């Protein structure tokens, strides 16, 4: 093994991060060289953290240089650990406390209209992701992380799951493609991740492998909780196998589609009209619905064109998708607004839900609207439409107070 290692990021655009250079020495003790733009205010606490962590990993002689651009403790700790683990062989993990507010679980059929991608190795984007109120955040270990940075990103994502408050949004991680992605699981499974995205999924077998590994890790840590899976279908084969993938395990809660890779696999170009992906999108929606789970559309990548995003959302919704990915927080509002029911849908849902309440109040077992009987699934869907409308601010919570019918 070498006696020098680096971890983290530096440069003009880098903020809320740090760059660590570590060199093992023979007998000079611990030397810490800290450059930080918050040195006056946090210099002492950074040095204390650094000493504690070096001690935890049993390092007695080293030179450590930290260039800090306002990294929080979880980032500093992750970078230091990533540097250390390149130089010594250890299974130990330097874990900060899991925030009590990060201990929540999510439900299988919760909203998944928007899920915000966050490059796993870029701390400044993770910190404020939750305040934009996406339905989910994705800490990404796959395409947004350079191959050489995969290792330090996994440690950073692990720490983010424990230390960053995402304000109740579903905490997701996209692992790498299977089989490599199986190695990512040990960094995320014990830290209350809510959902794992499995990219470039092409077989039910891959999902089984993921679940086996998850169970093993949970057992090892004496944990038992549900972790949901969202396979991403990104190839012609994946599209063919979509239904098998959707039904292979109880914890598969949604199928997502990734169109960039899919069109590459077809050997064609992705167009605005999307004719080339129409079949695949319909197939995914159909497979998901047949399996009783959600269908999630690909991301829309022009972050400055909100009008085109709106059209994209409306088309997604009309095809039967329940949500889509986003790559910029400003997309969230548009996605929520246009996945939300429109006036016509709300009016219809109001009639049905109102009829349901009247029937319940009268103690009737059957809900009817005019001369029509309303089936329970229709009531359920209408209730969900109402919920979505309230959530999108299109309907007041107490709408029934002055509902004339």
Would you tell me which residues interact with other proteins (CB under 8 A)?
A: 15-16, 37-45, 69-73, 127-128, 131-132, 165, 328-330
Q: Quick one: 99 or 358, whose CB is closer to other proteins?
A: 99
Q: Quick one: 282 or 303, whose CB is closer to other proteins?
A: 303
Q: Quick one: 281 or 336, whose CB is closer to other proteins?
A: 336
Q: How many Cα atoms sit within 13 Å of 275 on the Cβ side?
A: 1
Structure tokens at 380: 């359920």
Shortest Cβ 293–other proteins spacing (Å): 30
Q: Quick one: 181 or 329, whose CB is closer to other proteins?
A: 329
Shortest Cβ 402–other proteins spacing (Å): 17
Shortest Cβ 111–other proteins spacing (Å): 17
Shortest Cβ 17–other proteins spacing (Å): 10
- Positive/negative CA dihedral, 97, 100, 102, 108: positive
d(CA 360, CA 20): 64
Shortest Cβ 337–other proteins spacing (Å): 14
Three-state DSSP at 398 gives coil
Three-state DSSP at 4 gives strand
Helix (DSSP H) and strand (DSSP E) numbers for the chain: 14, 14
Element (H, E) at 385: helix 376-391
Shortest Cβ 330–other proteins spacing (Å): 5
Q: Quick one: 19 or 42, whose CB is closer to other proteins?
A: 42
d(CA 194, CA 261): 25
Whether the CB-CB separation of 226 and 188 falls below 8 Å is answered with no
Whether the CB-CB separation of 303 and 330 falls below 8 Å is answered with yes
Q: Quick one: 9 or 235, whose CB is closer to other proteins?
A: 9
């Amino acid at each position: 093994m070498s006696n020098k290692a680096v971890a983290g990021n530096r440069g003009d655009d880098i903020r809320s991060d740090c760059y660590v250079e570590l060199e093992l020495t023979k007998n000079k003790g611990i030397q810490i060289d800290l450059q930080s733009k918050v040195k006056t205010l946090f210099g002492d606490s950074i040095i204390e953290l650094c000493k504690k962590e070096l001690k935890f990993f049993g390092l007695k002689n080293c030179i450590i240089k930290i260039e800090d651009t306002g990294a929080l403790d979880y980032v500093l700790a992750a970078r230091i650990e990533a540097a250390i683990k390149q130089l010594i062989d250890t299974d130990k993990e330097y874990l900060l406390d899991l925030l009590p507010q990060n201990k929540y679980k999510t439900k299988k059929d919760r909203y998944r209209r928007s899920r915000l991608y966050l490059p796993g190795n870029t701390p400044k984007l993770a910190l404020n992701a939750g305040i934009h109120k996406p339905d989910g955040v994705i800490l990404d270990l796959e395409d947004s992380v350079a191959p050489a940075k995969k290792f330090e990103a996994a440690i950073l994502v692990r720490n983010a799951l424990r230390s960053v408050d995402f304000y109740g949004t579903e905490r997701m991680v996209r692992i790498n493609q299977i089989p490599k992605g199986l190695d990512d699981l040990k960094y995320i499974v014990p830290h209350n991740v809510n959902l794992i995205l499995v990219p470039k999924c092409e077989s039910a077998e891959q999902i089984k492998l993921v679940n086996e590994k998850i169970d093993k890790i949970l057992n090892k840590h004496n944990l038992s909780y549900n972790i949901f899976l969202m396979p991403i279908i990104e190839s012609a084969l994946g599209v063919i196998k979509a239904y098998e993938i959707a039904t292979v395990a109880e914890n598969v809660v949604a199928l997502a589609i990734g169109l960039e890779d899919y069109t590459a696999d077809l050997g064609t170009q992705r167009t605005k009209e999307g004719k080339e992906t129409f079949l695949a999108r319909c197939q995914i929606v159909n497979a998901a619905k047949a399996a009783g789970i959600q269908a999630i559309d690909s991301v829309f990548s022009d972050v400055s064109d909100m009008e085109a995003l709106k059209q994209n959302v409306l088309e997604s919704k009309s095809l039967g998708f329940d949500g889509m990915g986003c790559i910029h927080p400003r997309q969230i509002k548009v996605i929520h607004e246009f996945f939300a029911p429109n006036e016509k849908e709300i009016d219809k849902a109001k009639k049905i839900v109102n009829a349901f309440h009247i029937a319940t109040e009268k103690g009737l077992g059957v809900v009817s609207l005019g001369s029509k009987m309303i089936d329970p699934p229709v009531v359920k869907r209408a209730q969900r439409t109402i919920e979505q409308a309230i959530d999108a601010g299109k309907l007041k919570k107490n709408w029934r107070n002055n509902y004339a019918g």
